[in-house]
Amino acid sequence: MDSTFFWFFAVTSIAGAFGLVLSRSAIYSALSLIAVFMSIAGLYLLNNADFLAMAQVVIYAVGLTILMLFAIMFTGDKPLGYEGSNRSSKIIYCIIAAFFSALVIRTISDLNFSQVSGDFTAVQSTLMAKGSTAMLGNLLFGYYALPFELASILLLVAMIGAIVIAKKSFDTPSESGQPLDTQYRVDLASAPSQEVLDAMRKERMAESEARKESLKN
Amino acid sequence: MPDFITTIGLNHYIMLASLLFALGLLGVLTNRNVIRVLMSLELMMSAVSINLIAFNNFLHLSEGLAGHVLTIFILTVSAAEASVGLAIIIALYRAKSTADMNKFDLLKW
């Protein structure tokens, strides 16, 4: 029974990882990343890590992927995945990845962990009965209190850094008195006028209408 | 059925994690879209945390949950990394109007 779940989650996570790497559109690879994270949460559940499975679903599979999807929508989803890179370098990359995983699998298959699997200690039976959340809370606010606080400082610094980096800094003057990023500014004088924009919008709407018509037929 | 399929041990989890890590490595190396590279990095990071959880479950560490605690910290760091990374990507996109890795070559010589 346990092995059935393991193989199910293993197959879905590997398939999702292939989808992440190989799919043409970045949106599709973000969606397959959700599948990978969900099946990794399932693997956590198989290992008695219920709190972490939920955290994985909430933080990775929902929060992080939504962030990625927003960034994809911001930067556009033109398929620039493969057309520019040449074939030989791609083959070299495949060989590097295959060599890495072959190395790990070869090493692991020599080791024998079987003597430690299967017997249950006190800790593990409590985990199975009550779940890991209470024990994890005691550890985090007791023995690991200092790293926990440091992690919160790290999150604060990352938040401030993200805001500062992503903020538009149009009003920062340089030494010469000119704004630093004049070259990236939108020049309002050379921007298309309202009539031109309206004409473009009408053209686009007519195009989409035509497409709908052709789809109907 | 062979024993390898029916009984799941620590080896299975490590092999699965190494496969996922290698696929993430492949994604980092081959993709040219910065956001897809960042997503592959996230995949590599969670492949590592599979290892931590599996070792914690199979090797019975003294106080029980060291692997879980380490995974929580990995979660925190990767959330921070993703937010700063996406902010950098957005700033780069403002400057270059593209998400193509090969176009970000200002420091290349």
pLDDT in tens, chain B (109 residues): 777 777 777 888 888 999 999 999 999 988 888 899 999 999 999 999 999 998 888 776 555 788 889 999 999 999 999 999 999 988 888 887 777 887 788 887 7
d(C-alpha B101, C-alpha B89), whole Å: 10
- Interface predicted TM-score (ipTM): 0.91
d(C-alpha A64, C-alpha A116), whole Å: 35
pLDDT tens per residue across span A177-215: 555 555 455 555 566 677 888 888 888 888 888 888 887
- Which residue, among A12, A47, A69, would best test binding to B if mutated, counting the most B CBs under 10 Å from its CB? A47
d(C-alpha B80, C-alpha A7), whole Å: 32
pTM (predicted TM-score): 0.78
* Among chain A residues, CA nearest to B26: A97
* Among chain A residues, CA nearest to B23: A17
- Across B61-86, b (16+ Cβ under 10 Å) vs e yields eeebbbbbbbbbbebbebbbbbbbbb
Contact at CB, A161 and B84, closer than 8 angstroms = yes
Q: What is the mean pLDDT of residues A161-184?
A: 64
Residue with tokens 């043409």: A24
Confidence class for position A150, pLDDT limits 50, 70, 90 = very high
Any idea which of A62-66, A81-85, A125-129 has the lowest mean pLDDT? A81-85
Confidence class for position A108, pLDDT limits 50, 70, 90 = confident
Contact at CB, A52 and B99, closer than 8 angstroms = no
Chain B hits for A85, CB-CB cut-off 8 Å, are 30, 32
Contact at CB, A51 and B68, closer than 8 angstroms = yes
Instruction: Say whether residue B15 is in contact with chain A using an 8 A CB cutoff.
Output: yes
Q: Among partner residues A127, A143, A166, which is closest to B87 by beta-carbon distance? A: A166
Q: Which residues pair with B100 in a beta bridge?
A: B33
Contact at CB, B23 and A14, closer than 8 angstroms = yes
Write B47-52 long-range contacts (CB < 8 A, 24+).
Answer: B47/B17, B47/B18, B47/B20, B47/B21, B48/B17, B48/B21, B48/B74, B49/A40, B49/B74, B49/B75, B50/A40, B50/A43, B50/A44, B50/B13, B50/B16, B50/B17, B50/B20, B51/B13, B51/B14, B51/B17
